[in-house]
A and B are shown apart, each in its own frame.
Chain A
Amino acid sequence: MGAEGRVSAADIRSSLPLGASTFYILLALAGGDRHGYGVIKEVESQTGGTVKLGPGTLYRLIKQLLADGWIAEIEGEISGDDERRRYYRLTPRGRDVARAEAERLDAVVAVARERRLLPALATF
């Protein structure tokens, strides 16, 4: 996955919408590099404890994200508890994808507000 050059917007759009679990993992890594269990904990706290990824799903998606070049594996130098742990980091391309997904969801939410499913945002 040498140089993760930015890719075209159309290319990114074709990968949307992301699966919910995929998006959670990207969000978790957007907050900083984490190992697998760290991702599980982060997703749990992001979702107020409602989503607890199973290790099976987690690593299946990690494998996929690595293959797509959206995340990268880094050496576990962030020390502490366990050196054997592998840490994962969001790549620039992964960041683009996560951003695109967030924008897509934002637009969806805007529609929901328009339809009065959510209270309007205070504009000033």
Chain B
Amino acid sequence: MLLFRAALGLCPGNFRREYGTAIRDDFALAFAEERAVHGTVGALTYALGATGDLFITALREYAAMLFRDFSYAFRALRKTPSFTAVVVATLALAIGANAAVFSIVHAVVLAPLPYGDPDRLIALNALDHGTVFNFDLPDYAEIVHRNGAIFASYAAFHSERYTLTGQNEPQDLAGVQTTPRLFETLGLRPELGRFPNARETVRGAAKTVVVSDALWRTAFGADPSAIGKSVRLDGVAYRLIGIVPADFHQPQIRRGFQAADVWTFLPEDGAGTNYDRGWHSFDAVARLQPGVSLSRVAPGVDVVVRQLARRYPSEDARFSVTATSLADALVGNVRALLFAIFAAVGAVLLVACANVANLLLSRAASREREFSVRIAVGASRGRIIAQLLVETFVLAFAGGALGIALAYGVVAFFVANHPPSIPRAEFVTVDVTSILYTLGVVVFCTLAAGLAPAFASSQRDVALALKNAGRGGDASSGARARSVLVACEIAMTLALVVGAGLVVRSFIALTAQPLGFEANLVTTVGGIDIPDSRYRTDAAREAFMTRTIARLRSIPGIEGVAWAFSAPFSTSNIGTTFKIVGRPVRTGFEPGAAVDPVGPDYFRVLHGTLLGGRAFTDDDRLGSALVVIVNETLAHTFFPGRSAIGQHIVPSISLSPDNVDPTRTIVGVVADLRSSFTKQAEPEIYLPASQLPLGGSSLIVEAAPGTDPSAAVAAAVVSLDPLLPKPKVVALPSLLTHSVAVQQLTVAALTSLAFVALALSIAGIFAVVSYGVTQRTHEFGVRMALGADARQIVGMVLGGAMRLALIGIGIGLLVAGAGTRLLSDQLFDTQPLDPLTFASVTLLVIVASLIAALVPARRATRVDPIVALRYE
């Protein structure tokens, strides 16, 4: 009985009011009759059935109501196609931008890492005096081995390039050298074969290799019997033991993910390999023991690090280790940036909703008569609100559907053109999660844009509205709501434009920095890997470089050729500590600098500026006096107020023959050659490459203006040694662009969003002022009849609009002041509260508001007093 009443309570109000009594009475009669005929059990069975029936009735009544509302909404919207189109387009733009950015944020930042049980994965970060550093294997091994209670599994790895020979053409491959348990740590099973065990990685054991699914398909024809075969990498034989599944992504600490085709293995502590104590190039990941939290890591690790520092003061005195979740280590660097863009699209959505709410309010005002009639014939206020919300939902849903299509386009473009430093960007898709999110946004838009207009138009006094209908009497609540909405719009827009302005200013500051070399005419070759197996001596490798340079110089159109260990703007960098002769430093606290071994013509080809001393010559060889050139930053930092030339330093980076005195003389100082727009110039030491042969080398070629020597350079290298993979040759300007691609993306995203918001706000101001002018036609007519001139009328209208704009600007400045903090990490040489940006954006918004208000204001002056007064 109680249940029956509850079910009745669920029925829509009008149905309940009309039939509730009858339903209750009939139920009582039938219940009594059932009890008389079939007893209590029969009566209860009947009651249960009737309750279920009533419950379903309630649902069907609601469904029917909704269906009526929807068909009514469709009819109403079809009657005003241009209104519908404007609203749907506005929402599609805003919702589409949100769906696209959400898809990106979701795939890049929010999605769990593609590894087994990723929450237990952490990255260990080596720090040298607080700055980012890498592990050497002995330190890493000691730290993880002695913390078995914390780490269930672990691995250290670094990238390595390999040349695969013996399968078709020689092929340059991205590879990873890792300790044995990388795949186990990441929770990966082989697609085929197996992963190595610890015994296989020790010195003297046969070398093993694991390859990617892609390489297995291209180089081995996806043949399962390839497992167990011998594979030659850099001329050395490896046994292929396993295939890595296609969906595996090699983690790269601080950079996201890396495509790799081969994995080779090192013993856990590097014993018996080149990678022993002092070779700091390894990233480390670990899987926590079940139930162990991240906070337990630091204490356990610190104990070992302190002991290491005591035992190896010259190596580890300034060494420290932090632990972060692997997710933070891989995608943390872009999180702030993407969230800033996410906040910006959110702001655009709010602006769009405000605009739509505004349009809906105007539309509601023009439909006053319709609502009054419906209320007069008995529709409840709730019904009118529901009806209007359904209309808004239909609009938002259509906008959402178009928005999804738009998001597909944006995401496809993003995937094709994403900056390389955004991890996982290639996996961004508009998936089910994105669509669910979009649906949520649609509901949000319905409420944000629809609630105020629905309430405003349902609360009209029936009698008043009926009397006024057809005349221009605006209910003041609608007018006020419109003004508030436009002020909010202006506030959000101002905040967005300020954000965009800051980013643009920062980008200009960033790219306007002098880099110290001529970027336009130079092409580079990123890393020719001259294999040790065939070029066994440093002399042989240098001879090859000399031959290559001679061959390149003979090509017409090539004006200069130089080579260096790493090309400008490349990410491969080596560092060293150094001592200054005559300046004792506590062991372990020597200063550090980047090291770049360069060929003789390096500074000439790059058009670097020699500030003092001399450049390297062909006479700076192995065996002659050891020399270095330092950059301006190093000279200023360590030899302030005097000349660095002639000073002696001892870089710790080793030289092949151990019996030579490593003291070097500074023979020149060059202006900073920046390795990137985004990184500050660091102290740098240049050495003649022949005095520090390190293998892999980059060619830097200057060609005649307007020519592209890329193909010729690649062909020349291969023609000298057909077993080398064809090198990639790129224009330096394209490397320049890559180095600021993330900043470019930010600029593009924020400026286009700011533009959209500004356009929407101008439309909003225009609509509100136009509407106000229409409403006040009569008033203006009277004023003009009483002698007001056009300038006074324009002044009145503009004054009203400006009051609105200034309120919006005031709020917007506060929002911007708080919001630009989100951007502070992205800004280069630009303050988050940069007064110039704030001032010019404020001015821009004022001018835009004035222009938007001017057109309707001028219309107000054309009111004919006679016409206006005739309606009185």
Please indicate the chain A residues that have their CB under 8 angstroms from the CB of B756 in the complex.
Answer: none
A36: chain B residues at CB < 8 Å are: 22-23, 26
Residues 41-59 of chain A, each 1 if its beta carbon lies under 8 Å from chain B, else 0: 0000000000010111111
Please tell me if the beta carbons of B60 and A60 are within 8 angstroms of each other in the complex: yes
Question: Residues 1-41 of chain B: 1 if any A CB is under 8 Å from the residue's CB, otherwise 0?
Answer: 00000010001000100110111111101100000000000
Chain B contacts of A37 at CB under 8 A? Answer: 25-26, 29-30
A58–B27 alpha-carbon span in the complex (Å): 11
Nearest-neighbour CB distance to chain A for B230, whole angstroms, equals: 78
Q: Across the two chains, which residue of chain B brings its CB closest to A39?
A: B26
**Chain A interface helix/strand/loop/mixed:** helix
Q: Check A60–B30 contact: CB distance below 8 A.
A: no
Q: Flag if B26 contacts A40 (CB, 8 Å).
A: yes
Q: Which residue of A lies closest to B49 (CB)?
A: A54
* A60 adjacent to B26 (CB under 8 Å): no
Interface residues of B in 52-70 (CB under 8 A from A): 52-58, 60-61
Is there a chain B Cβ closer than 8 Å to A86's Cβ?
yes
Contact with A along B717-760 (1 / 0, CB 8 A): 00000000000000000000000000000000000000000000
Complex alpha-carbon distance, A86 and B61, angstroms: 21
CB distance from B772 to the nearest CB of A (A): 43
Q: Please judge, given known A-B contacts A36-B22, A37-B30, A59-B19, whether A52 and B61 are in contact too, CB under 8 Å.
A: no
Question: When the two chains form their complex, are residues A55 and B46 in contact, meaning their CB atoms are under 8 A apart?
Answer: no
Q: Is the CB of B23 within 8 A of A55?
A: yes
Query: Which of chain B's residues have a CB closer than 8 A to the CB of A54?
Result: 49-50, 52-54, 57
Q: Write the chain A residue with the least CB distance to B27.
A: A55
- B52: which A residues are within 8 A, CB to CB? 54
Q: Kindly state the separation between the CA atoms of A37 and B50 in the bound complex, as whole angstroms.
A: 13
Give how many A-B residue pairs fall within 8 Å (CB-CB).
Answer: 59
A40 and B60 in contact (CB under 8 A), knowing A55-B23, A59-B22, A63-B19?
A: no
Q: Are B53 and A56 in contact (CB under 8 A)?
A: yes
Does A55 lie within 8 Å of B22, measured CB to CB? yes
B464 → A minimal CB distance (Å): 31
Per the bound structure, the CA–CA distance linking A117 and B459 in Å amounts to 63
B residues less than 8 Å from A56 (CB atoms): 7, 11, 23, 50, 53-58
Query: Which A residue sits closest to B33, measured CB to CB?
Result: A41
B661 to chain A, nearest CB (A): 102
* Contact A52 B58, CB 8 Å, known A37-B25, A40-B26, A86-B22: no
Q: Is A59 a contact partner of B29 (Cβ separation < 8 A)?
A: no
**Distance of A87 Cα from B55 Cα, bound (Å):** 24
Set B7, B18, B29, B55: member contacting A63, Cβ < 8 A? B18
Closest B-chain residue to A58, C-beta based?
B26
Measured in the bound complex, the distance between the Cα atoms of B57 and A85 in whole Å is 21
Cα distance A39–B52 when bound, in Å?
A: 20
Which A residues are CB-close (under 8 A) to B11? 56
A59 touches B53 (CB 8 A): no
Interface residues as binary, B797-829 with A (CB distance below 8 Å gives 1, 0 otherwise): 000000000000000000000000000000000
Within 8 A of A (CB), among B415-429: none
List B contacts of A52 (CB < 8 A). Answer: 30, 46, 49
Chain A residue nearest to B55 in the complex (CB): A56
A60 and B46 in contact (CB under 8 A), knowing A37-B29, A55-B23, A55-B30? no
Chain B residues with CB below 8 A from A55, complex form: 22-24, 26-27, 30, 50, 53-54
Question: In angstroms, how far is the closest chain A Cβ from the Cβ of B51?
Answer: 8
Shortest A30–chain B CB gap in Å is: 20
Contact B30–A40 (Cβ < 8 Å)? yes
| Shortest distance from the beta carbon of B773 to any chain A beta carbon, whole Å | 45
Q: Please provide the chain B residues from 511 to 540 with a CB less than 8 Å away from any CB of chain A in the complex.
A: none
Chain B, residues 566-604, CB within 8 Å of chain A (1/0): the string is 000000000000000000000000000000000000000
User: Given contacts A40-B30, A56-B23, A56-B58, are A63 and B50 in contact (CB under 8 A)?
Assistant: no
CB neighbors of B among A53-107 (8 A): 54-60, 62-63, 84-86
Query: How far is it, in angstroms, between the C-alpha of A56 and the C-alpha of B10 when the chains are bound?
Result: 12
A57 CA to B11 CA in the complex, in Å? 12
**For the complex, what is the distance from the CA of A60 to the CA of B54, rounded to whole Å?**
9
CA A106 – CA B364 in complex, angstroms?
A: 52
A124 to B: closest C-beta gap in Å: 43
Q: Which residue of B lies closest to A44 (CB)?
A: B30
- Residues of A contacting B46 in the complex (Cβ-Cβ under 8 angstroms): 52
Q: Which residues of B contact A57 (CB under 8 A)?
A: 53, 56-57
Give the docked Cα–Cα distance between A60 and B26 (Å): 14
Considering the chains assembled together, what is the distance between the CA atoms of A78 and B60 in angstroms?
32
Q: Nearest B residue to A60 by beta-carbon distance?
A: B57
Query: With A and B bound together, what is the CA distance between A57 and B30 in angstroms?
Result: 14
**In this complex, what residue of B is CB-closest to A82?**
B25
Q: Which residue of A lies closest to B18 (CB)?
A: A63
A72 to chain B, nearest CB (A): 15
The distance in angstroms between the C-alpha atoms of A52 and B46, with both chains bound, is: 9
A37 CA to B46 CA, complexed, in Å: 15
Compute how far the CA of A97 lies from the CA of B29 in the bound complex, rounded to whole angstroms: 30
Collect the chain A residues with CB atoms within 8 Å of residue B54's CB.
54-56
Please measure, in the bound complex, the distance between the C-alpha atom of A63 and the C-alpha atom of B22, giving whole angstroms: 12
The complex places the Cα of A57 from the Cα of B46 at a distance, in Å, of 14
Q: Which residues of B contact A62 (CB under 8 A)?
A: 19
Q: Do the beta carbons of B23 and A59 come within 8 Å of each other?
A: yes
Q: Report the Cα distance A86→B46, complex, angstroms.
A: 24
Report how far A57 CA is from B61 CA in the complex, Å: 10
The complex places the Cα of A58 from the Cα of B56 at a distance, in Å, of 12
A55 to B15, CA, bound (A): 13
**A55-B54, A56-B50 are contacts. A63–B23 as well, Cβ < 8 Å?**
no
Closest A residue to B19 by beta carbon equals A59
Sample 7 A-B pairs with CB under 8 A, ordered by A number. Answer: A36-B22, A36-B26, A55-B24, A56-B7, A56-B50, A60-B61, A86-B22
State the 6 A-B residue pairs at the shortest beta-carbon distance, nearest first: A54-B53, A56-B57, A56-B54, A59-B19, A55-B23, A54-B50
Q: A55-B27, A56-B54, A59-B57 are in contact. List 17 more A-B contacts (CB 8 A).
A: A36-B26, A40-B30, A54-B49, A54-B50, A54-B54, A55-B24, A55-B26, A55-B30, A56-B23, A56-B50, A56-B53, A56-B57, A59-B18, A59-B19, A60-B15, A60-B61, A63-B19
